[in-house]
A = this chain, B = another copy of it.
Amino acid sequence: MKNIKSAGVIGAGVIGSGWIARLLLNGIDVFVFEPSKGAQNNIGKVIRNAERAYKNLLKSSLPKKGRLSFSSSVSDVAKSSELIIEAVPERLSVKQSVYDEIESTASKDLIITSSTSGILPSDLQSEMMHPERLVVAHPFNPVYLLPLVEIVGGKETSKGVINETCNIITNIGMFPLHIKKEIPAFIADRLLESVWREALWLVNDDVATTEEIDDAIRYGFGLRWAQMGLFETYRLAGGDAGMRHFISQFGPCLEWPWTHLMDVPEFTDELIDKVSSQSDQQSGQFSIDELMQKRDDNLVDFLKVLKENRWGAGNALKEFDAALSNSNSKVEFSELDVSQPIVTFSTHIPKEWADYNGHMTESRYLECFSESTTELMAIIGVDKEYIANVGSYFTVETHIQHLDEVLIGESIYSKTQVIYGKNKKLHLFHWLHHDDGRLLATAEHMLIHVDLKTRGASMPSDLVINRMEGIYSAHKKLPKPDGLSRAVGDKV
């Protein structure tokens, strides 16, 4: 799959800035053209929000952040980029003049994606020299978190361009949804549009306030849609008889009286006032910045839940995290430096590891040490396959010294020394450090090799014994760690 190293973004409003943040954090250099004042500030804010969110979202480390450059013209951007993302206002003529300027300098292979939420790609490409390079790639706010990108080709778009765009989108952790038939507003915005229309009537007719309508969504079907969408949810409502039964039961409702509300409410000043002031009443106690952070926190946690449950949008995150983890190079056992304790774990503290004070809570120290043990096990050959077929190590005893505190978002790493490693027994000592070098905690563990079928002690495989003894014979020459064999309350 294609990995690009650079991209150009034309237009840096809400959507353009979101693209910029996602690209940079994926290690892609970004060239931006955005003439409006304050653009650099706004982009900086979005990047900071994205970095904050990703610290909680991903287990794996991201590649080195890309470089952000501001160009003084569209054609400068086009000259430097492997892909163009156009995110200028929704006016056909404005977009067409951008493409014109790009085509005046770019090679004919440069792909141009439009972030338009409604204009047909066939219209967008109608005046182009190389219309086959133009494809709609319509993302959703916040672009750095929501995976969906609607991919729509026009009459002239080449298949190759569509495929390559889908690959690039997948590589930056997103979910390309290729829409085969070109219609105005594509799919998602049509659905949104229909709800928006209905909701405005409800406000207009004083049936409900904006807050009541939002509550009707988020205390109810919104929680279903976030995981299953519309049809799969209704499949469940049909019970074991499934979709056909559902339609026969509820389909006729389409002709119920409320279909009379299908004309379009007019945006009178009165209606605008009503919606705006109800919205102030509902959400005005939070600034837009606060709301955005709240939204991102919730989105991150939803995505993590779905990843854990292997469902829906979590699948895109799972694949992305796995791809990142694979690209972080692994050391071969033969190349391992055993003359020193081995670095076995590193992470940044996610927010759910904190107590109410923002400090990492007690049990998460043991979680870090448990990860260190898991890594040491993997190094000596006790990996997923071994555990499924041969056995594993169980911790029978643990001693922890808590020495210092650490805050959410800070980075930590651990080192491990093998104190003893023969036959069924493995005795480990871990140090947990802050990235600034401070020692935060130590842990001492006794582990026993176990047959997972009998749940009783058993001998490891020859490979595991060889590797374990190899590290042990080197590590026993190291000094004994401070605090080894301590009991709780021993005097120093």
Residues of A within 8 A of B (CB): 14, 118, 140-141, 146-148, 150, 175, 177, 179-181, 183-185, 187-188, 190-200, 202, 205-208, 210-233, 235-237, 239-240, 242-244, 247-248, 251-259, 261-265, 267, 272, 275-276, 278-280, 282-283, 288, 291-292, 294-295, 297-299, 301-303, 305-306, 308-309, 311-313, 316, 352, 357, 361-367, 370, 394-402, 405, 420, 427, 444-446, 452, 455, 485-490
Contacts and interface: CB of A to CB of B under 8 A. Distances in A.
Contact of A301 (B14, B291, B309, B362): B309
A298 B261 CA distance: 34
A232 B207 contact: no
Contacts of A226: 218, 222-223, 225-226, 298, 302
A239 B14 contact: yes
A258 B396 CA distance: 66
Given A279-B242, A313-B223, A366-B362, A229 B217 contact: yes
Contacts of A222: 222, 225-227, 229
Given A208-B187, A256-B184, A256-B185, A231 B213 contact: yes
A230 to B, nearest CB: 6
B276 A247 contact: yes
Given A220-B188, A231-B275, A262-B262, A298 B291 contact: no
B396 A244 contact: no
Contacts of A316: 219
Contacts of A485: 487-489
Contacts of A179: 207-208, 212
B257 A184 contact: yes
Contact of A298 (B192, B239, B306, B489): B306
Contact of A146 (B210, B219, B303): B219
A101 to B, nearest CB: 24
A230 B214 contact: yes
B400 A488 contact: no
> How many copies of this protein are present in the complex?
2
Nearest to A398: B400
A366 B188 CA distance: 46
Contact of A216 (B177, B228, B255, B276): B177
A478 to B, nearest CB: 17
Given A252-B267, A357-B452, A397-B401, 20 more contacts: A14-B239, A146-B224, A175-B219, A185-B253, A190-B198, A191-B195, A192-B221, A193-B253, A193-B259, A194-B198, A199-B230, A242-B279, A242-B288, A243-B275, A254-B265, A302-B302, A305-B305, A397-B488, A398-B399, A398-B400
12 contacts: A187-B216, A191-B195, A194-B194, A213-B229, A218-B312, A227-B294, A228-B295, A236-B292, A247-B275, A262-B263, A298-B306, A362-B367
Contacts of A225: 217-218, 222, 225-226
Nearest to A214: B229
B363 A177 contact: no
Closest A-B pairs by Cβ, 10 of them:
A214-B229, A148-B220, A226-B226, A222-B225, A363-B367, A217-B229, A243-B279, A301-B305, A210-B231, A148-B219
Given A225-B226, A262-B263, A396 B405 contact: no
Nearest to A397: B488
A298 B303 contact: no
A250 B391 CA distance: 60
B247 A254 contact: no
Contacts of A291: 228, 232, 235-236
Contact of A363 (B208, B299, B364, B402): B364
A231 B222 CA distance: 13
Contact of A302 (B239, B305, B367, B487): B305
B214 A231 contact: yes
A260 to B, nearest CB: 10
Nearest to A310: B294
Contact of A207 (B187, B213, B299, B367): B187
Given A191-B195, A357-B452, A397-B401, A280 B214 contact: no
Contacts of A364: 363
Contact of A219 (B210, B217, B301, B312): B312
A283 B244 CA distance: 13
Nearest to A190: B198
A14 B241 CA distance: 12
**Most central of A306, A361, A362, A364 by chain B CB within 10 Å:** A362
